[in-house]
């Protein structure tokens, strides 16, 4: 039985790589397969434990709180844990890169992901080297992480970005005898290595500017250039407003957020401060945004559990998967859609109706202090929500079977599907 170390988070990456290398050397095919499945299981357990802790933190805070922003950044810089060492690297990716910078500078966030094994493995940059190019990561940096799909770059820019990224990968497990002239160019942080032997040191022309070949400094120059680009400001401001304010965010707010992003060269605290300062759109009349699955589940838990902390995260994590938005479950690098309307479908609604009674019925087992339905029903939060319902929903509630049935109906109501 293998166990990957949970703290310090980065240690699991080294352990995974080491164990993986040992497994590759096992001669007997059956033994090798057994060892491989053990390692995969250890990776799964690490991610499950981490996910549960993450989810508990997420629901202990407001919907636009600090951990929700960490979720936002993970979704923005999405990686897939089932992919090789990415699962072992996931806690470090979040704890060492995303959380510390979630309200810091966008440039640091970007450079942090560019030098983390989770991202480099997920988007194949460990295979990108001078003369043997792989442009997968380069394209997604421009399209998804910074400029956005209509951000004004072309295929040549993708190519040049890929050239800059050559050599950014993992340290070789075997000791390397570095030539003296290579030593000044080496940059190593944990399992990350900038390998000058694999880097293309030629000059790069990116987005109309020249980046001279100088090694790792090119990655820093790339992060600087992209985080100061107006298209990045627009792209990121739009996504943050969508996440924090919803689909009906006023265009003027998005515009102002983009300007702040641009003028501060991506100071996230300033941008977030601006967005959060605005009066709450949800108190105003007018169109609302359909809740994406995670928002529906977390808002239901917040409503039903009151201030009582939820101790068991396994069931809610299962609900998220059933609704198509499993935590850390998006397989493609674009992350989940933040547009509520993209989640609105017949299947989604039916699935929520199916889950609603389960959520209500399992709540007494989830919360740290048992909460009987009649007590939840009498809570001020439930009362406040019921007061906002339209006549048809209110009428239906009076016909519900018992308090549990009434609560299930409440979180199935059309009013509760929107925020």
Partner 1 sequence: MPMAWRLWAAPAVHPGPRFLFVFLRGGYDALSALVPYGEPFYYEARPNIALARPDPANLEAAVPLDHRWALHPSVSDALKPFWDAKQLAFVPFTGTGFVSRSHFQAQDWVELGQAPEARPASGSGFLNRLLTELNGARGSATGVSFTPTLPPSFHGPVPVANWPLSGSRRGKINPGLEELILAMYDEHALEDLVRDGLGLRREISLQLQQEMQEASRAALPAGSFALESARMGRLLCDHPEYLLGFVDVGGWDTHAGQGAARGALSSRLRDLAEGLQALARELGSEWQRTLVVVMSEFGRTFRENGSRGTDHGHGTTLWVLGGGIQGGAIRGEQGGLGSGDLHQDRDLPVLNEYRDVLAGLLAQHYGLGSEALARVFPASSPRNLGML
CB atoms within 10 A of CB 301: 21
Please, what is the minimum distance in Å from the beta carbon of residue 307 to partner 1? 28
Which of 308, 322, 381, 385 binds partner 1 (CB under 8 A)? It is 322
Q: Does 347 bind partner 1 (CB under 8 A)?
A: yes
Does residue 226 touch partner 1 according to CB under 8 A?
no
Asked if residue 385 binds partner 1 (CB under 8 A), the reply is no
133 contributes a contact to partner 1 by CB under 8 A: yes
261-to-105, 235, 257, 325 alpha-carbon distances in Å? 10, 10, 6, 29
CA distances from 2 to 20, 73, 243 (A): 12, 30, 39
Site membership for partner 1, residue 414 (CB under 8 A): yes
- Does residue 357 interact with partner 1 by CB under 8 A? yes
Shorter beta-carbon distance to partner 1: residue 22 or 334: 334
Q: How far is the CB of 103 from partner 1 (least distance, A)?
A: 27
Q: Is 392 in the site for partner 1 (CB under 8 A)?
A: yes
Q: Does 303 bind partner 1 (CB under 8 A)?
A: no
Asked whether position 134 contacts partner 1 by CB under 8 A, the answer is: yes
Question: Which are the contacts of 11, defined by CB distance < 8 A and separation ≥ 6?
Answer: 5
* Among 187, 201, 405, 419, contact with partner 1 (rule: CB under 8 A): 405
On whether the CB atoms of residues 379 and 400 are closer than 8 A, the answer is: no
HEC secondary structure over 29-87: HHHHHHHHHHHHHHHHHHHHHHHHHHHHHHHCCCCCCHHHHHHHHHHHCCCCCCCCCHH
Least Å distance, CB 369 to partner 1, is 27
Q: How far is the CB of 117 from partner 1 (least distance, A)?
A: 16
Q: Extract the tokens encoding 268.
A: 């996230």
Subset of 135-164 contacting partner 1 (CB under 8 A): 135-136, 139, 143, 149, 155, 158
Q: How many residues does the chain have?
A: 419
Tokens 């792989």 found at = 134
Q: Are 58 and 19 in contact (CB under 8 A)?
A: no
Query: What 3-state DSSP class applies to 122?
Result: helix
Considering only residues 20-59, where is the footprint of partner 1 by CB under 8 A?
none
Residue 409 near partner 1 by CB under 8 A: yes
Binding residues for partner 1, per CB under 8 A?
124, 127-129, 131-136, 139, 143, 149, 155, 158, 322, 324, 331-332, 334, 342-351, 353-354, 357, 392-393, 395-396, 399-401, 405, 408-409, 412-414, 417
């Amino acid at each position: 039985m293998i166990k990957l170390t949970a703290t310090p988070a980065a240690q699991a990456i080294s352990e995974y790589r080491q164990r993986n290398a040992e497994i590759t050397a096992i001669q007997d095919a059956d033994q090798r397969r057994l060892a491989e499945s053990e390692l995969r299981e250890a990776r799964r357990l690490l991610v499950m434990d981490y996910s549960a802790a993450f989810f508990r933190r997420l629901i202990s805070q407001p919907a636009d709180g600090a951990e929700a922003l960490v979720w936002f950044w993970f979704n923005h810089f999405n990686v897939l844990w089932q992919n090789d060492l990415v699962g072992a690297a996931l806690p470090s990716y979040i704890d060492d890169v995303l959380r510390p910078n979630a309200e810091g500078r966008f440039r640091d966030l970007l450079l942090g992901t560019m030098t983390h094994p989770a991202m480099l493995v997920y988007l194949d940059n460990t295979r990108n080297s001078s003369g043997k190019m792989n442009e997968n990561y380069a394209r997604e940096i421009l399209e998804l992480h910074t400029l956005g799909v209509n951000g004004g770059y072309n295929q040549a820019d993708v190519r040049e970005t890929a050239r800059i990224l050559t050599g950014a990968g993992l340290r070789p497990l075997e000791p390397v005898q570095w030539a003296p002239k290579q030593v000044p160019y080496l940059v190593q942080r944990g399992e990350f290595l900038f390998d000058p032997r694999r880097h293309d040191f030629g000059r790069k022309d990116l987005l109309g500017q020249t980046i001279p070949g100088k090694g790792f400094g090119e990655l820093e120059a790339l992060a600087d250039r992209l985080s100061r680009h107006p298209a990045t400001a627009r792209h990121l401001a739009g996504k943050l407003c969508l996440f924090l304010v919803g689909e009906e965010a006023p265009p003027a707010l998005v515009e102002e957020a983009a300007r702040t992003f641009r003028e501060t060269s991506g100071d996230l605290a300033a941008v977030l401060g601006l967005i959060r300062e605005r009066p709450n759109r949800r108190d105003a009349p007018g169109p609302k945004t359909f809740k994406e699955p995670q928002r529906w589940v977390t808002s239901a838990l917040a409503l039903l559990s009151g201030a009582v902390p939820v101790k068991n995260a396994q069931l809610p994590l299962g609900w998220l998967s059933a609704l198509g938005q499993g935590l850390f479950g998006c397989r493609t690098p674009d992350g989940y859609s933040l547009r509520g309307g993209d989640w609105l479908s017949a299947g989604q609604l039916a699935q929520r109706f199916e889950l609603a009674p389960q959520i209500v019925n399992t709540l007494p087992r989830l919360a740290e202090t048992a909460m009987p339905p009649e007590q939840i029903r009498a809570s001020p939060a439930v009362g406040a929500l019921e007061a906002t319902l339209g006549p048809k929903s209110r009428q239906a509630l009076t016909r519900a079977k018992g308090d549990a049935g009434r609560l299930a109906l409440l979180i199935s109501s059309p009013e509760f599907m929107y925020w």
